[in-house]
Chains A and B, each alone.
Chain A
Amino acid sequence: MTATDIRPATGETAAGRDRRRRGRRGPVLLAGLTAGLLLVALIAAGRGQVAVSPAEVLGSVLHRLGLDLGARPAAPHGESALWLVRFPRVALAAVVGAALGCAGAVMQGVFGNPLAEPGVIGVSAGAAVGAALAIVTGITVLGGWTVPAAAFAGGLATTWLVYLLARSGGRTEVVTLVLTGVAVNAVAGAAIGLLMFVADESGVQAIAFWNLGSLAQANWSAVALATPCLAVGLLATLADARRLDLLALGERSARHLGVDVERLRVRMIVVTALLGAAAVAFTGIISFVGLVVPHLVRMVAGPGHRLLLPASALGGAIVVIVADLAARTLVDYQELPLGVLSAIVGGPAFFWLLRRTRDRAGGWA
């Protein structure tokens, strides 16, 4: 073999040093995000019309786990408020946020473009069309899985379409991507409008809820349905993390390094549709989480996907829990739509990223 001309380097090498530094940063970041997620979850679960302190929330959880530690909620109905309303809501927020963050990171890797995101390129809208179609037609062939399955089918079809339309020569240029997103979102919006037109009263309400995005209808069965989608998606993407790194070199070079690019892409498109469906099916469209979170993680931890994917999932979970907390507590006895809130914050962030990307590339070339 050709290893003869390479001898193990003695002493400290720059490469080794750098690897160790990055190697330490990963676990620290993941541990910090996990701690942040738990903290945010404890606080979010306690806030609302029935106030429960974080210590009491923790105590309630520990008692359920059979540990007689800490104080239980003192407020009347505190226990039931936590376990019937708050916890499923916070859990669903975490699952949805993790799915969105992870889907954004994967999509950016597959498109080779840091601006790709389920909401921006219209995958969420496509999934919402699928879900709306299932609601309007009243099909329940798959029981509780019908709406998620329809959302998955809609998301998959849309991702595929965007993928076919927006790529040229193995890369997706920013302009093409964003414009394709505009077109896809327009068509999906029209389709949803049409479905609302033909739907009955309750159908109209259900679809309107999708368009705004909200966690108000969270319950344990939704958590039970969304969690497996997230788990499968997350594991599948982690298995391909190194190959996603190689894809950053471009399709040709990735293939030269032994990546079966076509198969990788098909796998990742299915996975993003799955993650997108897990999010959209129960909460409607919450945009920009998948755009902003991976970007922040990259600024801290670099672009390597083995860290980026789990960190984006954790970060997404934190962001959606906080956003939902804000949505239901900013205005007394009223609930702001979560999707509206995320768009108010995420939209300007998207502008900023867009400008930065353009400046760095020296125009849209």
Chain B
Amino acid sequence: MSGDGPRVRDRRRRVRLRLTGRRSTPRPPAPATPGGIRVQVTGVRVERAGRPVLDQVDLSIRAGELHALVGPNGAGKSTLLAAVSGDLPLAAGTVEVDGRPLAEWSAVELAMRRAVLTQRSTLSFPFAVVEVVRMGRAPWAGRPEEAHDDAVVAETMRRCDVIRFAARPFPSLSGGEQARAALARVLAQQAGVLLLDEPTAALDLHHQELVMRIARDRADAGDAVVVVLHDLALAGAYADRITLLADGRVRAAGPPDTVLTAPLLSEVYRHDIEVVPHPDTRLPLVVPRRRGPARNTPRTEE
């Protein structure tokens, strides 16, 4: 930000935006610089019914990075993702995408930059899976990128293993199939920032790995990817950075080996947790400490 010129221009643009509802030409995203910050969250506070559910949260999401958000139930992971998506009013702090506050982008401009997978995907009418995936191309309608629509839709459906259901109505799929179809829609948007809220929640083991592999590939291709995860071993295996949330605040942030430590996790999750390296890959395995095999031991009642 140098000088007043661009700021004043921006304000004029914003006023015009409010009056006419449409900006004549949406600004397409510039190519991301590897490692550059795509989303900057600073001192964010979100309140529900006057009670803070997020407070003093800072977060930098960089191009080429897979960033995992972890934490116990109610820690504020989904709330943080919703705040970054622009779905929630902020009580304090700022969220900037590509160097500008959310409010300075139009809906279409934001959609060209960031795609969001929400936890539950509902559909009011029985669109076919391929039609749902094609909805992801909406931000690019009437632009040169529209020419790639068919190829992008076909490729993302193949990646997410939903091509078999392409012609079936979305509501007729099982929970896990719907989740993958929704992910295919989000990928088809081809935004440089991907915000995925528990993309693995409804999936079997094979598809969990498939989805995390896709997220990893997108990060390697230069996208900034944020994934809310419950499975800490998945986070440890795939993420470049992990942010651990607890009670609406950032408890720890950094590379997996600095965040996934037994004492820290045990404290945050209020459960005795072990972190052991995998014998071959050395990737962290996070397991709750359990008593020995309980099945065949005779139950003693005292």
* A, B: real partners: yes
Measured CB to CB, the residues of A under 8 A from B are: 1-9, 13-16, 18-19, 108-109, 112-114, 171, 242, 245-250, 252-253, 255-260, 263, 298, 302-304, 360
Distance between Cα atoms of A15 and B151 in the complex (Å): 9
Whether A246 and B135, one on each chain, are in contact in the complex, defined by CB atoms closer than 8 angstroms, is yes
Distance between Cα atoms of A15 and B166 in the complex (Å): 7
- CB contact under 8 A between A257 and B125, given known A1-B29, A15-B157: no
A-B contact sample (18 more), CB < 8 A, given A109-B124, A258-B109: A3-B190, A4-B221, A5-B221, A6-B152, A8-B151, A14-B130, A14-B166, A16-B150, A18-B166, A246-B135, A255-B107, A256-B111, A257-B139, A258-B138, A259-B138, A260-B21, A303-B126, A304-B127
Which residues of chain A have C-beta atoms less than 8 A from B107's C-beta?
255, 258-260
Distance between Cα atoms of A364 and B124 in the complex (Å): 15
Total B residues in contact with A, Cβ cutoff 8 Å: 60
**Which residues of chain B in 93-149 are interfacial with respect to chain A, using CB atoms and an 8 Å cutoff?**
106-112, 114-116, 118, 121-128, 130-136, 138-139, 141, 145, 148
Distance between Cα atoms of A71 and B246 in the complex (Å): 85
Distance between Cα atoms of A153 and B171 in the complex (Å): 38
Whether A13 and B218, one on each chain, are in contact in the complex, defined by CB atoms closer than 8 angstroms, is no
- CB contact under 8 A between A113 and B130, given known A1-B190, A3-B148: no
B248 at the interface (CB under 8 A from A): no
Chain B residue with the shortest CB-CB distance to A172: B124
Which residues of chain B have C-beta atoms less than 8 A from A171's C-beta?
122, 124
Chain A residue with the shortest CB-CB distance to B126: A303
Which residues of chain B have C-beta atoms less than 8 A from A250's C-beta?
118, 121-122, 124
B200 at the interface (CB under 8 A from A): no
Which residues of chain B have C-beta atoms less than 8 A from A7's C-beta?
151, 155
Whether A2 and B111, one on each chain, are in contact in the complex, defined by CB atoms closer than 8 angstroms, is no
The listed residue (B125, B167, B190) touching A2 by CB distance below 8 A is B190
Which residues of chain B have C-beta atoms less than 8 A from A303's C-beta?
125-127
| B23-53 interface code vs A (CB 8 A; 1 in, 0 out) | 0000001010000000000000000000000
B189 at the interface (CB under 8 A from A): yes
The listed residue (B110, B121, B155) touching A9 by CB distance below 8 A is B155
Distance between Cα atoms of A250 and B141 in the complex (Å): 20
Measured CB to CB, the residues of B under 8 A from A are: 21, 29, 31, 82, 85-87, 106-112, 114-116, 118, 121-128, 130-136, 138-139, 141, 145, 148, 150-158, 163, 166-167, 171, 189-192, 217-218, 221-223
Whether B148 and A2, one on each chain, are in contact in the complex, defined by CB atoms closer than 8 angstroms, is no
Q: State the Cβ distance, B223 to closest chain A Cβ, in Å.
A: 6
Whether B115 and A302, one on each chain, are in contact in the complex, defined by CB atoms closer than 8 angstroms, is no
Whether A16 and B154, one on each chain, are in contact in the complex, defined by CB atoms closer than 8 angstroms, is yes
Which residues of chain A have C-beta atoms less than 8 A from B112's C-beta?
258
Whether A18 and B118, one on each chain, are in contact in the complex, defined by CB atoms closer than 8 angstroms, is no
Which residues of chain A have C-beta atoms less than 8 A from B115's C-beta?
256
Whether B118 and A15, one on each chain, are in contact in the complex, defined by CB atoms closer than 8 angstroms, is no
The listed residue (A2, A18, A263) touching B221 by CB distance below 8 A is A2
Whether A14 and B139, one on each chain, are in contact in the complex, defined by CB atoms closer than 8 angstroms, is no
Distance between Cα atoms of A255 and B102 in the complex (Å): 13
Whether A242 and B138, one on each chain, are in contact in the complex, defined by CB atoms closer than 8 angstroms, is yes
Whether B130 and A257, one on each chain, are in contact in the complex, defined by CB atoms closer than 8 angstroms, is no
Q: State the Cβ distance, A208 to closest chain B Cβ, in Å.
A: 38
- CB contact under 8 A between A6 and B151, given known A14-B166, A260-B107: yes
The listed residue (A108, A248, A259) touching B127 by CB distance below 8 A is A248
Whether A248 and B118, one on each chain, are in contact in the complex, defined by CB atoms closer than 8 angstroms, is no
Which residues of chain B have C-beta atoms less than 8 A from A256's C-beta?
85, 110-111, 114-116, 118
Chain A residue with the shortest CB-CB distance to B192: A2
Distance between Cα atoms of A302 and B148 in the complex (Å): 24
Q: State the Cβ distance, B16 to closest chain A Cβ, in Å.
A: 14
Whether B223 and A2, one on each chain, are in contact in the complex, defined by CB atoms closer than 8 angstroms, is yes
- CB contact under 8 A between A246 and B138, given known A5-B217, A255-B107: yes
Distance between Cα atoms of A304 and B155 in the complex (Å): 22
What would 12 A/B residue contacts be, using CB atoms closer than 8 Å?
A1-B29, A1-B190, A1-B192, A5-B218, A5-B221, A13-B154, A15-B163, A112-B124, A249-B122, A250-B122, A259-B107, A298-B126
Distance between Cα atoms of A18 and B121 in the complex (Å): 23
The listed residue (B108, B121, B166) touching A258 by CB distance below 8 A is B108
